[in-house]
Structure 1
Amino acid sequence: MTAEEMTPYGREAARVADRVAARYAEVAPAHQHSQIAVVERLLTRLPRGARALDAGCGTGQPTCAQLCAGGLDVTGIDVSEAMLAAARANVPQARFLLVDLLGEQATALGTFDTVVSFFCLMNLPEPVFVSALARFASLTRPGGTVVVGVPERPGDTPVEGLYGTYQPPRCTRQDLRRRAELAGLTVEEIEVRPGTGIMGAEEEHLFLHARPAPPGTSSSSARPASPSDRSG
């Protein structure tokens, strides 16, 4: 896949990730405790040999390594060649592919027992975020599990990243539930865990646990956002 074959969002993500890949590999491990715990929990629900897709796999650490250690058949996709090179070195037992999640190439991946994606969608505008979740739903077999992690963002606070300070789009737990339902996912839980951002700032991490909605289920029949979403 060439840059010209990627969507605009894929090209921009690749540009940024290639630029910060080395720095990311250095600093990210100190801030991934919440997603490690979520994957440990997920592994208790999956049989050995289950097919898993990590969308936006980055360096393969920690998620692809955890899934492989749990006996799963693991595929990681990313738009960054630099990230994928690191992933192939870090987790040789997984397969890693240069794929733009939002592009048509992703439809050829097949279906998986679980699709996970951690901190890859957080800067997408809402319509594109919903499209990404819909793609996860289409890549997940009936009865399978989608797990997505994002930081909770009120939308009015600048955030410091590896490439400078920026203003991220809003994403609250209510937003995440609504977007999942619009994407054709049945939400099981919005799990909330304390965490830190890539530069160490304290923040809440939201983890969507969902399943593809049964055929014929409309988003209008889904349960609206509730303030009773569990904090963990």
Structure 2
Amino acid sequence: MTEPHEQVERIRAGYNALSRAYRGDVADGPTQSQYAGWLGWVRDHTPEGGHVVDLGCGNGIPASKWLVDNGFRVTGVDVSDEMIERAHTLVPGATFVRADLTDPAEFDLEDASIDAAISLYALIHIPLECQRGVIGRIARWLRPGGLLVATVGHTAWQGREQGWLGGSVEMWWSHPDASTYRDWLEEAGLEVVHEEFVPEGSSGHQLMIARRA
């Protein structure tokens, strides 16, 4: 059985090796358009100039850059050293931190200190037994009325793929189903105000928008 720390380190190594294969320096049209639609929830429901945390920010493209370009103060967090190094260059208007989100000693925030949080295709990499606690911490960081915009699992699955994106490393995923995520969000004090299925290949993910009471 793989320990959570070992899974995190394998994911870090995977994104370090596949940073450019996963995301280029400029988002393509469909990706930019899709992310802009999701991030529009932040733009439309967050005070101008508000503080947004991008959890699993990768190289900052497209989400952190979009948020900065729309006037938000952005802190991006990612486990990959390579992604964070690129993000500093690609999105100089944001602050970036290399950290493991499962470890509060590496990254934590004051209660009610941010206006919104986004986590796009990132929670699904976190070890399953750690995700509930991470969601609870995110909820604690949000100010009243603050939003979480996240893409999470639609159906439950845990597994790994060798040779992901044509590389020589393996990548790991672990997530429950959308109903479980809904329960975890509500348990943390967040109200789910919108959700939709995001198709990908023969399956897909779930977009969830939740608000702190």
TM-score computed with the length of structure 1 as normaliser: 0.74
Question: Within 5 Å, which residues of 2 pair with 1:1-232?
Answer: 7-26=5-24, 29=27, 32=31, 33-104=33-104, 105-108=106-109, 111-155=113-157, 161-162=164-165, 168-194=173-199, 196=200, 201-213=201-213
For structure 1, list consecutive stretches of 5 or more residues without a partner in the other structure: 1-5, 214-232
Q: Whole-Å Cα distance in 2 between the matches of residues 78 and 156 of structure 1?
A: 21
Q: CA deviation at 1:46?
A: 1.9
For 1:186, give the aligned amino acid: E
Taking a change above 3 Å as real, the CA distance of residues 98 and 154 of structure 1, as seen in their structure-2 partners, is closer
Counterpart CA distance in 1 for 2:58 and 2:204 is 21
Q: Is the 8 A contact 2:164 2:171 kept in 1?
A: yes
Supply the distance in 2 between the matched residues of 1:62 and 1:84 (Cα, whole angstroms). Answer: 14
Tell me the number of residue pairs that the alignment of Structure 1 and Structure 2 aligns: 203
Between the aligned partners of 1:16 and 1:121, the Cα distance in structure 2 is 16
Kindly provide the CA deviation profile for residues 171-207 of structure 1, in whole angstroms up to 9, marking residues without a partner as x: 332122122223343322223333x3xxxx3543311
Q: How big is the alpha-carbon RMSD for the aligned residues of Structure 1 and Structure 2?
A: 3.0
* Cα pair 1:84 1:98 within 8 Å, conserved: yes
How far 1:150 moved relative to its partner?
2.4
CA offset digits 1:82-141 (Å, max 9, x no partner): 001111111111111122222123224662100111001113444312112112112212
* Percent of paired sites with the same residue: 25
- Structure 2 unaligned spans of 5+: none
> How many Å separate the matches in 2 of 1:44 and 1:34?
16
TM-score normalised over the length of structure 2: 0.80
How many angstroms apart in 2 are the aligned matches of 1:179 and 1:138? 13
| Between structures 1 and 2, the one with greater strand share | 2
Q: Which amino acid aligns with 2:185?
A: A
Q: Which moved more, 1:118-127 or 1:73-82?
A: 118-127
Quick one: structure 1 residues 101 and 109, their matched pair in 2 at CA, closer, same or farther if it must change by over 3 Å?
farther
Q: Distance in 2 between matches of 1:28 and 1:70?
A: 17
Quick check: 2:68–2:94 contact (8 Å CA) kept in 1?
A: yes
Match of 1:193, as an amino acid?
A: V
